[in-house]
Structure 1
Amino acid sequence: MTRIGVTGHMNITADTAAMVYDEITRMLSAAGPSNELVGISCIARGADSVFAQAVLDIGGRLEVVLPCRNYRERKVKQDHAEQFDALLDRADVVNVLDFDVAGPEAYEAANETLVGSSDRLIAVWDGKPSEQGGTGTVVEFARGKGVPVDIVWPTGSSRA
C-alpha cells in the first residue's frame, strides 16, 4: 500500500481547485496502482477535500482524520457541509481524535497523526510562511520526520 497524506490551504479559488485537482490526480496516478493507494485527509474545505475527491475518483481508498469529536458540528461551514458529508460517507477509515473541541492542540495532533501515517505528503502550498499549525508548519514537520513532501501550486494559482 502507498499511503499519501495531504496538507494545504483552505481558501483556494475555484480555478485553483480545478488546477490542483488535475495535478494531484496526475501525481496519484503515477504513484502506483490505485487499488493500492490510501489517501489520508482531514477533509477540510479547499485542498484537503480536493485531494480526497481525487483519491476516490481514481479508485483509491480514503482515510479521514478528524481533529475532535464535534468537528462536523462546530467547524464545517454550511457551504462545505454537503461535500464534507459525501467524502466522510465514502471513507474506508475515520479516525476521530480524542479532543472535545477543535483548537490548536487538536489540529496539531491531527497533523501529527496524518504525517505519521503517511509515506509521502502532498502540500497544496504557495510557499509562504504560515501561522503555527498552518500548511508551512506541517511541511516543516513532515520534512523533519523524513517524510517526502511534494509541493503543488500550479502557475496561476491563488488564494481567495
Structure 2
Amino acid sequence: MPRTDVPRPAEPTRIGVTGHRVLPAAVLPPVREGMRKLLSGAGMEALTSLAAGADQLFADIALDEGVPVTAVIPGMDHEAHLGDESDRASYRRLLGACRRRVDLPAEPTHEEAYYAAGQWIVDHADRLVAVWDGRPARGHGGTGDVVAYARRTGVPVTVLWQPGVRRT
C-alpha cells in the first residue's frame, strides 16, 4: 500500500519570456535586475525560444542563477532567422546548456512558428516576463501578440522596460 504521508515534491514555478530582439542600452539595467529578481529562489524553471535579444538574455540570467532552462524551438529553421553569427553562436551555446528541449511542429511561416512558440510558452508558464515597450507587435506573433494571448488566457504578465524608451 502506498504511503500517503510522504509529501510530493513541489512542481517548479515556470516563468516564460517574450521580448524584443533589439534592446536599447537604456533598458538593459532594469531588465536584467527585473529578470534576476523573478528568477531568484528555489524551484524555478525558465521557458524560452532562445531568440536573439530578450530571450537569450533571459536564458543567460536563468543559467547564472542556477535555474534550469527549457528551450522551446519554433517549427521552422529557427537558427537561420536569429540575426548575425554572434546571435547564432549564442543560441547554440545556450541550447547546449538547456536541461530540456521542446521541438514544435512545422508552421507555414516563421511568423506563425514564433507565435506558436509564444503560445506554447504561455500555455506552460505560471508567469510571463515581457521585455516590451507596450507597443503593438510589428508582425504576427511578435511580443505584443504574445502578451495579449497571455492576458486573454489569464497568465500573469510582468513587463520589464525603461519608461520613456522606445525601441528602434
TM-score range, shorter chain: 0.7 to 0.9
1:153 counterpart residue number: 161
Q: Which amino acid aligns with 2:51?
A: A
Map 1:53-72 onto structure 2 (within 5 A).
Answer: 53-68=60-75, 70-72=77-79
Count, aligned residues: 155
Question: d(CA) in 2 for partners of 1:101 and 1:79?
Answer: 27
Q: CA deviation at 1:156?
A: 6.2
Q: CA deviation at 1:109?
A: 1.4
5+ long unaligned stretches in structure 2: 1-11
Largest Rg, 1 or 2: 2
The secondary structure found in structure 1 opposite 2:34 is helix
Q: CA deviation at 1:155?
A: 4.1
Question: d(CA) in 2 for partners of 1:39 and 1:71?
Answer: 19
Question: d(CA) in 2 for partners of 1:93 and 1:85?
Answer: 14
2:151 counterpart of 1:140? no
Encode CA deviations 1:84-106: one digit per residue, 9 max, x unaligned.
Answer: 11110100111111217752221
Q: CA deviation at 1:69?
A: 5.0
Map 1:86-105 onto structure 2 (within 5 A).
Answer: 86-99=93-106, 103-105=110-112
Check whether the contact 1:17–1:47 (CA below 8 A) recurs between aligned residues.
no
Would the alpha carbon gap of residues 87 and 15 (structure 1) be closer, same or farther in structure 2, given more than 3 Å must change? farther
1:4 counterpart residue number: 15
Percent identity over paired residues: 37
Encode CA deviations 1:2-52: one digit per residue, 9 max, x unaligned.
Answer: 0000001111124433431122112222xx31xx11000011111111111
Q: CA deviation at 1:75?
A: 1.3
Check whether the contact 1:70–1:101 (CA below 8 A) recurs between aligned residues.
no
Encode CA deviations 1:116-152: one digit per residue, 9 max, x unaligned.
Answer: 1101000001111123211111111001111000010
Q: Which amino acid aligns with 1:91?
A: C
The secondary structure found in structure 2 opposite 1:126 is coil
Show structure 1 runs of 4+ deviating over 3 A. Answer: 155-158
TM-score (norm 2): 0.84
Question: d(CA) in 2 for partners of 1:66 and 1:18?
Answer: 27
Question: d(CA) in 1 for partners of 2:107 and 2:157?
Answer: 30
Check whether the contact 1:17–1:50 (CA below 8 A) recurs between aligned residues.
no
5+ long unaligned stretches in structure 1: none
1:46 counterpart residue number: 53
Question: d(CA) in 1 for partners of 2:26 and 2:89?
Answer: 20
